[in-house]
Structures are given as structure tokens and as C-alpha cells.
Structure 1
Amino acid sequence: MGLKKYTNINNIQGKKGSQFSSQLRGINLERVLIVAIDAAKFYQKALLCNYYGDVLERPFFFGVNQDGLNLLCSKIEEARMEIQAERIFIGVESTAHYYEDIVYELGKRGYGVTIINPATTYEERASALNWSKTDDLDLYAIAHALIQNKGMENKLPEGAYRKLMKLTRARRSEVQKRALVRIQIRTLMDHIWRDYQGFVEIENNKPKKKLIFSDFWGKSSLFFMEHFPHPSSLIDLGEERVWEISKENKLRIKETHIQTLLYVARKSIIKSTEVVSAELLLLRLAIKDLKRLDENVGLLEKEIEKELLQTDGRLLLTVPGIGVVTAAEFYSELGDISHFDNAGQLIKKAGTNPIIIQSGGTQGFYGRISKQGNKHLRFMVYTVGKSLAQHNKDLRPYYERLKERGKHARKAFIALGNKFIKIAFSMLKNRKPYESKQPDYRIFTEVKKKLLYTKMNTYLNIALAA
């Protein structure tokens, strides 16, 4: 019986394994050059060996500049000539953002670079403790991951994907900073005026919490925190003057709210301004930071919306539960889907594919997710799953069934996010909007309510033009 022809299907690593094996088949493996690069902020290090792990160039340092890259390339070419290399595999761990310039510059010089997930090198590093010297453990782990074809991808995001990725990640960072500043402001107000965030009244021997402002971060609340954070300053002004100030600054605050504000100020325990002088200064600085961060987030969201509408990612806005920022972040982290044959490959890219645990001849079962992928995309899978479970009537039943089967909420969110990857893959591949089974669903209405800076007719013109 003859051997079957090798195909993408029968390789144990699927398409990825087939591509790798096709590059190696029929080649003397001693003529395969492996280049492992350990990227860092200042000190980059490289190791050159053949496929069997025989060291051709001992670990050396190089800089990410013209001289350093010239040195790296000259070492690669020397090793190529020494072993008459027929294939070169270069790998670098995706450490923070330090690896990006190396991948980009080597690409310009004609070298393909495989990006390796830190989780993969972590596992390789642990196994390498048994057989390698510890001085250059990271380089050995990267080289071994390359030899075992455990790389993640070979290209950095480009064009609209790169721009949206930078903008959405920057926005997430600013939102996180804003959250910390808001916690700081709440803590400071507890020291300056405890009841400002809410006060308690006893009714029928039962405590009931009441708010002065329904939105603590609204315009009116922030105005009084910025200009009159201490209760004594409002008491000195009196109701009539506070009312005049609110009208002058167009706060649109009701007279009853002003009366409540003054009532709480008079009833509160008041520390002197001298005692809380440090807190008052820190509060002014924190509010200044909050305004700056609010402005930054607004500018980023405006640019994100503008960029998203120029891409097929705008189709994701037709999905209930997916807003502009979420759509942009999810779309950019997915990357160009033309590089993938099916949605399962994208799930593996995220590292949200469950690991099958099996021993001997027993039937396997699904364990934890692999985490062998893009951590940003993995976070978005979770975020999207959580949002859809709350706001999408078509997909919520799937989440509820998982919960009924005993799934933890987090695992159910990941599973729903994986399901949406399949839906999004089909939408983007076929360039079709979301199809809802809800009788009250209207694409026009769904998209319109999400656009903050773009008129609906502009969105339709862009969509029709595409």
C-alpha cells in the first residue's frame, strides 16, 4: 500500500504544520539556519544554530540601530555561507513592543521573522532547565520553539489594522488612568466632605441611602467639587447665590437639588479647611488630571470612529451589544482575516481554544484555555462575550445554557466570545451585516445609536461606496 499524498488536512498541525513541513521536506536539516532573538529595551541578544541545535554563532549583543542590525545581518549571512543554508528561520519573542522594530527592519531587508508568544517561551524555558546552560536560557527557548514550529505569526499589523490597534490600546490605557484618578477623587472627597457622595436618612428605623447628584461625574457635580468642595464654602454663599452661580455656569440643576446640597452641607460633620488643606490641593490637581484624561479619551474615540468607518470593521456595528470602540478593538486585534482559512485559526490566535486533557485510551475532556496566543485579542474575546451576554437577545440564550450546565460566568463569556469570532469571521469574509432574528431589530437604528461623531447618512454613503 503506497503512502498517501501529504495535504493541509493530514498534518498534525494543520495548515501551519503543512506550510512548515513543505519548507523542510527534502532538505538536509543541517542546512537549516535557526536565528533566535531575545528582544529587550536596550540589550538585544541573538543566537545562531542549525536545526539540530548545533551552535554556529554563540550568543552576542546587538543594538536596534543601523550598526546593530548590520551586525546581525552579517552574522546571519556568514552562517548561511558556512552551512550553505537552504532555509532560514528567524524567531523573536513578542516582549512588550521592543520586538516590533526588529521585525519591521529585518522584513525590509528581506528576512521573514516568526513572532513567538511569551507563554510558549515560558513553557520551553521550563523544559530547557533539564538540558541547557542557564546563562542564555531565553535564547535556547526561542530557538527550540522555532524548531518545534511553535511560532505565532509572521507579520506585524499594517495599515488600518495597525492604526486602529494603536488608537484603541491608547484609549484603553487612558481609561485605566482615568479610573485610578476617579478613585483618588472619591477618597479625597471622603476626607473633605464625606456626605457629598451620598448621605443616609433613617426612615422607620431603616437606613436609606440618598444621592445629591444622580451622576457623581456629571457636569454639576464636578463643578461644585472643583470650585466649592468644602461644605462651609456653600453655606457661606447661601441658597440664592448658589442658584445664581449654577445659572451663570449653565449647570441645569434643579432648585430642589440646590436645597438638598445645602441641607447636607449644614448637617455634615465639617473639618476646617486648614485641617484638610492638603486634600483640597490634591483634589484640585486630580480634577485637572481628570479633565485632561476625559479630553484625551474623547479625542481618541473620535479618531477611532472615523478610522473604523473606513474599514469593513463598520459591519460589526450592526451587532447588538458591540459599540464603536469594542468593534474597532476587536477588528484590529483580529487582523486581516484573509490570512486565515477558518474561524478556528482565529480562536487559536487568541489562545482561547480549550486544551484537551487526555490520558492513555480514555476519552479526553476540555480543560483550561491554552493562552498560546495574542493576549490583547484574548481580552477582547472575553470583553465581547460579556457584552453580548448582556445586550444581544440572539446570543444571550447560548450564554444562559452554558450557565445552566454549570459553567462559571467567565468561562461562559469566553465561549460566547469564541462563538462570536465565528460569526464575525463570516460577516467580514462575506462583507455582510449581522442578521438578527428579533422582530424589532433594524440595522439603521442599531448603527445610528452608536455613532457619536458621524452622521448616519455619512455612514451609509461610506457603506454603499464600499
Structure 2
Amino acid sequence: MRLLNGKQGLRRSQFAKEIRGTNLEKVLIVPIDVSKVLQKAMILNYFGESIESAFSFMVNQTGMKVLIDKIERTKSSLQTDKVFIGIEATGHYYEDIVRILMDQGYSVHIINPASTHEERKQHLTYTKTDDIDLYLIAEALIGNKATNSKLNKGVYKQLQHITRARRSEIEKRSRIKVEIRTYHDQIWREFQGFSTLVDGKLKTKSIFSDFWGKASVHILTHYPHASQILDLGEFGLRQLSKEHNLKIRKSAIEKLLYAARESVSKPLEELSSELFLLKQKLKDYEYHTKNINTYEKEIERLFIDTNGLLLLTIPGIGLVTAAEIFCEMGDLSHFTNASQLIKKAGTNPVIKQSGPGAGYAGRISKQGNANLRRAVYNAGRSLSVHNGALKPFATRLKDKGKKAGSVYIAMGNKLLKIAFAMLTKEEPFKWDNPEYNYKEEVFKKLTLPLAA
């Protein structure tokens, strides 16, 4: 059991420690199924027998009193020693219940929805009712499949809110980018790139290296049609670049004019609806971009007062990624080793073994914090390219035939181990490159001054 606890992470050792030496006849299990408005719970003994059938309650003063009174009455009448509460992590609706019950001194264990899903598959039941869900939550808890009950607080929670809000804005802007390209494709498709035949081979050229750069977006906004570019001409484009500091290179001007001359777009007057929609989407793009910039400033303001700043000493890790990893990991005093963080992220490989062989590592479990998992993957991808100290690790994996996604996950897991050591020891990233200076690495990633 001890070996299994080490492999599975902190959650199992916590539950085992709490239940060890307890008379199982005197243990109550309280599964709670959470929704936005009405919650359901039941009270069982450790062997899955119903003591109090399913009942509903709301997350308010009256509702929580109903839940706690039922638990206490049952506990008193059966003279039980311990109560274990299992609650499925549904959105953010479960957090107030966890906080209130923990303040009352109950042992609360959070169940990942993936665990109850696996329980459903094991029982070969595809029926979904509230009562069945409660039994599945109870089975997951009894089977030691709960995570720990620690909710992020303080700066961890604040950063979590802001970084997740920024991520939401990024996703919204990404969808808008696709729509902008689609609408402009109907107006002047060659602007996004034009093809030429060179010695019988097709070659595609982009006008701007960054389609979402300042110069490209300015032209999309004010001169979206080929005829407008031709009206400006070379002299007009140079003046435009100078007036608005667009820094349009000579080669870009030549490609713009070539693409405009070769365009077979409809006349400007026949594209009124497309131009209207493009204009609106560009406004949306600007709105979300401003939001993202505002969020990033607030993230930096909160982050620079934490020891998470040490993560910025790692080449290849930017401010937002560092903040995401820091807040999603949470208080590291809740963990005893980095493997538990990997388990929390759900980036631990699922081991497949049968017979005398050593087995093999399959896909990652994904039974963890999806936000931490995404941040770890993105960090792994960046480190594989931009961190000279860790890049050889990625190269070795690629030489072994590992696919890019697997390399990024492995690199991300390596980062979690490094981050755990750095933050617990309060030490910067170590690299024997004489050109590397950890203080300079931090300062170049910040816009706000650091406190002395």
C-alpha cells in the first residue's frame, strides 16, 4: 500500500492516514452531487449501505444547516467515529461547500469527474440519475480515488482567477481571428498569401511575416481591398508607413502591390456586407486584445510579490506561463515530492504491464487539473526550443523517435520537478553558461519595477 501511495500521489496517502486504525463499522461516507442551484447528498456506511437516503439542499445558510444537521444526527445516533465527505468537482460550484464543511472540521475529499466516469464504466451502467451518481462518488471515495481537499487561497486564488480569465479571452480572440481571415478571404484572399509558379513548382509567399502585426492589422482595418492598395501606390504606402510608424519594408510593399495587381476580387461596391462584418470583427479583436493586455498587467502586479518570481529565472518561461504554473500548483507545503505535482496535472503516463515484462508507459492519465496540464504542455513546448540548458533533453527524446507532443509533456514534467526544487529551496534556475545571468533573465520579462 505504501508503494501504491507513492506512485499515485499525495491524495491516497492522505486518505490512508486518516482511515488507518479506524473501526470501519463506525465510518460514515457522505457523497455530494453538485449543480448550480440544487445539490444532492446521501449518507452511507463504509460498506455502501444507505443510512440516509438521497436528499436535496441548497448552498445557503439554511441549506448548509440542513446538511450538517443530518450528518450530526446520524453520527450521534450510530455513535460513529469518523465522517468522510466526497464531493465531485463541478465547475466552481463545489468550492463554497468544501470551504464551509472544512471550517466545520469535516474530512472533505474532492472527486475528479473522470474518476466517477471510470466508476460508471467499471459498473457497466450507462444510466445517469442523481442517486447513481451519489453511489459512484461514494465508491470513488472508498476506493481512494479522491484528490486532496486543499483549495487555493490568497494570491494563488487571485492569480488563478486572472490567468483563467486571460485564457478565456485568448480563446475568444482566437475564434475571432478565424472569422477575420474568413471574411477577408472573400474580400481579398491574396492578402493572406499568394502563390507563384517557379520552374513548375508552386511557391506561396506571405506579405507580412506576422499577419496580426501592427502593419497588417492597420491595412486590414483601413485598406482591406486590393483596389485601395493600388490607389495608394508605392509612394502612398511609404507615406502611410511613416505617418503611423508601421515600419513596412520595401519587400512587403512590393508584395502588397503585386498581390493587389493579381487580385481577382469582386469590385469594392459589391462587398458591402463582407466589409461591414470584417470591420465589426476587427473591433472585437481590438477589444479582446486590450482585455488581454489589461489582464497581463494585473497578473504581473500580483505575481512580482510572490516567490513564483523564481520561475522567471528559467530561460524560455514567460511571465504568464510562470504565473499559471505557480497558481495552479498552489501551496507546495501540501506536497512532499514533485511526482505528486505531475499527478495533479494529470501528465503522468498510464503504465501498462502484464506478465514478467517491465511494461510500457502509455498515454497520460489526464486525471488532474486541466489548467495546470495545459500550462505544463505549453511550457514544455517553449523550453524544447528556447532553453539551451534543457534543449538537449528534448533532442535525446526526439532521437529516440518520440513524437513532438510526448516530448513537450516529458519536458513539462521535468519543469515541474525543477520548479518544485526551486520554490521549496527558494533558489533560482542553475545553468553553467557564462552568458546566463538569472537577474537579467527576470528583468527582461517584467514591465513593473521590483521592490527593493
Partner amino acid for 2:293?
Answer: G
Matched, 1:316 2:311: yes
Are 2:111 and 2:145, in contact at CA under 8 Å, matched by a contact in 1? yes
Higher mean alpha-carbon deviation, 210-219 vs 321-330, is at: 210-219
Give yes or no for contact 2:11–2:148 (8 Å, CA) kept in 1: no
Residue 35 of structure 1 contacts residue 48 of structure 1 at CA under 8 Å; is this kept in 2?
yes
| Structure 2 spans left out of the alignment, 5+ residues | none
Tell me by how many angstroms 1:247 deviates. Answer: 4.3
Whether contact under 8 Å (2:26, 2:78) holds in the other structure is: yes
Q: Deviations over 1:24-81 (max 9, x none)?
A: 3443322211110111223321121111111111112222222222222222222222
Answer yes or no: is the 8 Å Cα contact 2:12–2:146 preserved in 1: no
CA distance in 1, matches of 2:277, 2:68: 53
- Per the alignment, residue 173 of structure 1 pairs with 168
Which deviates the most, 430-439 or 251-260?
251-260
TM-score after normalising by structure 2: 0.91
SS in 2 for 1:56: strand
Question: Is contact 1:11-1:18 (8 Å) kept?
Answer: no
Report the equivalent of 2:215.
Answer: 220
Please, which of 323, 344, 351 is the counterpart of residue 346 of structure 2? Answer: 351
Please report how far the alpha carbon of residue 238 of structure 1 lies from its aligned counterpart in structure 2 after TM superposition. Answer: 5.5
Output one character per residue of 1:73-129: Cα deviation in whole Å (capped at 9) or x when no partner: 222222222212211111111122221222223334443421111111111122234
Identify the match of residue 5 of structure 2 among 10, 13, 16. 13
Structure 2: distance between partners of 1:414 and 1:257: 38
Aligned to 2:150: 155
Whichever residue aligns with residue 158 of structure 2, its letter is K
SS in 1 for 2:282: helix
Residue 124 of structure 1, aligned match among 95, 119, 144: 119
In structure 2, what is the Cα distance between the partners aligned to 1:237 and 1:138? 66
Are the structure 2 counterparts of residues 129 and 60 from structure 1 closer, same or farther at C-alpha, using a change threshold of 3 Å? farther
Partner of 2:266 in structure 1?
Answer: 271
1:200 alignment partner, one of 188, 195, 198: 195
| Superposed counterparts of 1:218-367, under 5 Å | 218-236=213-231, 244-253=239-248, 257-258=252-253, 260-367=255-362
Q: Secondary structure at the match of 1:119?
A: helix
What displacement does 1:320 show?
1.1
Distance in 2 between residues matched to 1:373 and 1:270, nearest whole Å: 50
For this pair of structures, how many residues does the alignment match? 449
What's 2:91 paired with? 96
Which of 24, 31, 34 is matched with 1:29 structurally?
24
Contact 2:349 2:363 in 1 (8 A): yes
Task: Tell me the TM-score normalised to structure 1 length.
Answer: 0.88
SS in 2 for 1:376: helix
Q: Distance in 2 between the 1:392 and 1:243 partners?
A: 39
Matched, 1:381 2:373: no
Deviates more, 1:246-255 or 1:364-373: 246-255
C-alpha separation in 2, matches of 1:382 and 1:254: 36
Unmatched 5+ stretches in structure 1: 1-8
- SS of 2:28's equivalent in the other structure is strand
Distance change (3 Å), C-alpha of 1:265 and 1:338: same
Would the alpha carbon gap of residues 263 and 21 (structure 1) be closer, same or farther in structure 2, given more than 3 Å must change?
closer
Contact 1:30 1:83 in 2 (8 A): no
- Once the two structures are TM-superposed, the CA of residue 222 in structure 1 deviates from its matched residue by 1.5
Percent sequence identity over aligned pairs: 51
Q: Is the 8 A contact 1:47 1:57 kept in 2?
A: yes
1: CA distance between counterparts of 2:49 and 2:318? 52
What is the CA–CA distance in structure 1 between the aligned matches of 2:190 and 2:109, rounded to whole Å?
57
- Tell me which residue corresponds to 2:73: 78
In the alignment, what sits opposite 1:417? 412
What is the Cα deviation at residue 427 of structure 1? 0.4
CA distance in 2, matches of 1:18, 1:193: 62
| In 2, Cα distance between equivalents of 1:387 and 1:290 | 25
Give 3-state SS (helix, strand or coil) of 1:193's partner: helix
Cα distance 1:125–1:211, how it changes in 2: closer, same or farther (>3 A)? closer
| Deviations 1:346-366, CA, capped at 9 Å, x for gaps | 122222222333334544433
Q: How far apart, CA to CA, are the structure 2 residues paired with 1:283 and 1:174?
A: 19
- The 3 A distance-change label for structure 1 pair 237 and 22 is closer
- Classify the secondary structure of the residue corresponding to 1:136: helix
> Contact between 1:232 and 1:270, CA under 8 Å: does it hold in 2?
no
Deviation at 1:154, TM superposition (A): 0.7
Amino acid in the other structure paired with 2:56 = F
* CA distance 1:381–1:274, change in 2 (3 Å): same
**Cα distance in 1 between the residues matched to 2:2 and 2:204:** 65
User: Quick one: structure 1 residues 323 and 46, their matched pair in 2 at CA, closer, same or farther if it must change by over 3 Å?
Assistant: same
The Cα of 1:251 is off from its aligned counterpart by: 3.3
1:6 maps to what in 2? none
Structure 1, 373-382 or 289-298: larger mean CA deviation: 373-382
Tell me the distance in 1 between the aligned counterparts of 2:198 and 2:144. Answer: 69
Letter in 2 for 1:441: Y
Query: Does the Cα contact within 8 Å between 2:173 and 2:288 map onto a contact in 1?
Result: yes
Deviation at 1:368, TM superposition (A): 2.9
Contact 1:113 1:155 in 2 (8 A): no
Contact kept, 8 Å, 2:11 with 2:147, in 1: the verdict is no
Aligned to 1:143: 138
Secondary structure at the residue paired with 2:383? helix
Distance 1:19 1:210, change over 3 A: closer
Q: Render the CA deviation track for 1:172-200: whole Å, top value 9, x for unaligned.
A: 11111111111111111110012112233
Amino acid at match of 1:163: Q
1:53 equivalent to 2:44? Answer no
Change beyond 3 A, Cα 1:38–1:232:
same
Report if aligned partners of 1:23, 1:87 keep a CA contact under 8 Å in 2.
Answer: no
Residue 39 of structure 2 corresponds to which residue in structure 1?
A: 44
Structure 2: distance between partners of 1:175 and 1:372: 24
Measure how far apart 1:17 and its partner are. Answer: 4.5
Q: Which residue identity is paired with 1:187? A: T
Contact 1:48 1:58 in 2 (8 A): yes
Residue 410 (structure 1) shift: 1.8
Distance in 2 (alpha carbons) for counterparts of 1:263 and 1:417: 44
Q: Does the aligned pair in 2 maintain the 1:11–1:17 contact within 8 Å?
A: no
